Structure 1
């Protein structure tokens, strides 16, 4: 009788170790999947504390328009010419005409230049790699100066936008973002890996101005959404939704890192399914 009880205890301990091992293995697999699917999430959080993005020119709060476009002051052009010669002309040419290493910048507008330099994507050490978000090398005034100089070389392209979030519609912004942006940036805006070692960056560190600039100018592999596709009001709505994603309302639940179903599945297996397996094992042991 004693030997039989000992055998049952050993059997239950073995089963318990198997249950715990299965839960741990599942948790490890989901953790690795999270890292593989969202490799830039940790990097973006570090950049948030560094305040990578430059300040917008204006939030347009006092305007009745959804977005106000404004070029930098022309008085900054001489400073911008000097900065461009020091940091940009090696690849883009002395008149921003482009070269075999970098594209022509003439006629792209101040918004395009401001986006690339304010997000730290430019200057770029290796033009063969995808530009990544980094702490900007130039100050806010220097960013505007370079934008003013390049914009003065040829007409064309949008000026620097200042969204008015007070007039934006969050619900419409969510709908527009889901239809046009979530496929690459994901519905929570954390970014995702695409094909050929290209990725859609996280939006967690983008300022309202930078989001509007990206929509209007189409940086990198992103399509450009001109006024014929999105009105200024629709751009304003999308910017409002992206700003909401950066500080979401998580009352009544846990944010779980904001990475979506991967984190939710991790919690479901580790806590939900794990608790059911332990409870079932305990009930089965009591019934013997």
Structure 2
């Protein structure tokens, strides 16, 4: 075993979580599952596989990952989702790693799947994330979506050999639904941070997103799956700025109503 705690956040992942846990169990005796109200067999499967399970209200991906880190036995954290499975090459890398350098974080390459098909091109074919770090120096931002790690200036980033296999979506329907769901979360994040929608972001950004994924990154070589990914990625870009524009309009109307009420009261 290595001195690493594996943190998994879950909701209704019974279909795959046993495979995720089985590979994580090859490197550690500490697997922490933060569950957000699963109503399938996710929690039962995790308990059967000797995970430590904590139920938490949903406050965003970053916040729930930080809750898991707080429960970890070890300082080193491998953060994965329930639909992400570490492979044998990565396991070998983890056993050879020097864990004495707390200022180092490790970037891990992903192999991402559409159903059972490995996606080799487009943005999915280039995917990689920092997922191994020391909790004494690093933590997640507590954003509702697209959480990132807060890295000190002294941080050194290295890439680990091996991959995390991400079983992202089962079919085109789930791909589309995820695009819509994450667009809504992104719009709220942008709105809360003061970011504004405009013509370029609404219309040019989605077009460029599609061209980059499908043509520049050769997404068309992934066949119909590459088409669905590029199309729904562009849809996500348009929707998040469309939703942001709606939030801005609602806010403007609210301020107008308050202004008119104030004027009426003072007349």
**TM-score where L is the length of structure 1:** 0.28
**TM-score where L is the length of structure 2:** 0.30
Structure with the higher fraction of residues in helix conformation: 1
Larger Rg: 1
